[in-house]
Amino acid sequence: MDELVPGGNLPLPGGALTLAVPGPFDVSALVTDDGGKVRGDADFVFYNQPAAPGARLSGQTLTVDPAALRAGADRVTVVVSPAEPGTPLGRLPAPTLQVTGSGGRVLARFTPSRPQRETVLLLAEIYRRGTTWKLRALGQGYADGLAGIARDFGVEVAEDTDTGPGQGTGAAAAPRTTGAGAGADPHTDGFLPLVNSARAAAGSPAVVLDGRLTAAARAHAADMAARGRLGSEGADGLSVHQRVTAAGYAYLTVGEHLVSGPRDAAEFVEYCLSGERTRRTLQDPAFTGAGVACVPDKRSGTLYWTALWAGPLTPGGLARTAAEVLALTNAERAAAGLPPLADDPLLTRAAQAHSADMVARAFYSHTAPDGSEPWDRAAAAGSPRRTIGENIACGQRSPAEVVRGWMDSPGHRANILKPAFTHLGVGFAGGGSAGTYWTQLFGA
């Protein structure tokens, strides 16, 4: 079973899939073509309309058979909202999606970062890539309920006082966000002074605008505006992080805000400061560069923003990151009464090569496309260790976050706390669809 992080994806086996979200939530789904738009209200599966070709909802469980979807359908987006309408998701436990294959085997689980003011969440999507169907974890929040999602996916919304799919909330829609964004035009005037004022208030150093980050932000905002929907991956298959590396910016740390709705830089920054997660990104002291772009949807006039934040990859920064992962790992071992692991340069060389390879060849696995396994990579790096173990992760933005994630996963935790291991190598690379790729290579 795969534990997914936002942006993580995996290929799906054939047959029907069962997607369940236990807890005080309603589950919905949207069936769309690759452009992200429904053909009509019949493509919206929710409690009052529980079935569409290839998709059926029963309580909190959605069954999807990709082969049985209507002609032209390339994507099914899974949506979760509070069972009590209007309740902010921040007042509820974080929703957990469990995906089961036709044989009853659990394929994946995904728990997004806990939402705050959002009242609905795009949790995941099942999408076609060539002849293969895949699952991607999302975690994109909306503050204006199902009506906001319906509008973005092309469902007609009537403005009245009822709420629900195909109906309005009776109030102006709030900006929708996944976490980052903005573009280079008059709407972004004043962006940098506003941002640096907010950073100064938090004790963080100022950022400077970087042309590479701005170019990547502009390309991503334009893609979202052309499709009329927020998303971390564009129609060309490039993630926002791949745009950053393609622009020539190698990063050690990265953040993003993808937002639709704000009319100027002041509204955009105000929105980013209004939520704990988005505020933390804007004020993160690790960031030294920023890029911003804003592009209108020519059909609706809605402004789509991309803001990118990053700290550059340097040899010293990479060494400090690896050292922090080692220190946090040894703190967990000490708490369990185990001796510390020693830094191993040869294991580090192999771990770093694997993280870079996952970015370069767009895969996420212990087995590389050439069939090599962790012990093969350790031996190729010249390591004499006879017993080898490996933890990998993607999407986490800091050493603390990645070690915490490994400790929350029984298999990864077992490697960290294995008494026989004596040495550790740590690798990190930025880019790819998930943004960050981490490797721990253990040896004894």
Residue whose tokens read 């830094």: 343
**What region does 290 belong to: left with phi over 0, alpha with psi -120 to 50, or beta?**
beta
**What region does 145 belong to: left with phi over 0, alpha with psi -120 to 50, or beta?**
left
5-9, 153-157, 176-180, 360-364: the lowest-pLDDT one? 176-180
CA distance 211 to 159: 42
Residue 184 has pLDDT above 90, yes or no: no
- Could you report the per-residue pLDDT of 188-232, keeping only the tens digit for each? 888 999 999 999 999 999 999 998 999 999 999 999 999 998 988
CA distance 288 to 307: 13
Q: Quick one: which of 249, 357, 358, 251 has its CA closest to 314?
A: 251
**What region does 371 belong to: left with phi over 0, alpha with psi -120 to 50, or beta?**
left
Residue 171 has pLDDT above 50, yes or no: no
DSSP state of 131: T
- Could you report the per-residue pLDDT of 4-44, keeping only the tens digit for each? 877 778 899 889 999 999 888 889 899 988 667 788 777 88
> Which ranges constitute the DSSP H helices of 275-344?
276-282, 315-335
pLDDT confidence of residue 145 = 61
- Could you report the per-residue pLDDT of 34-79, keeping only the tens digit for each? 667 788 777 888 877 888 899 998 888 999 999 999 888 989 999 9
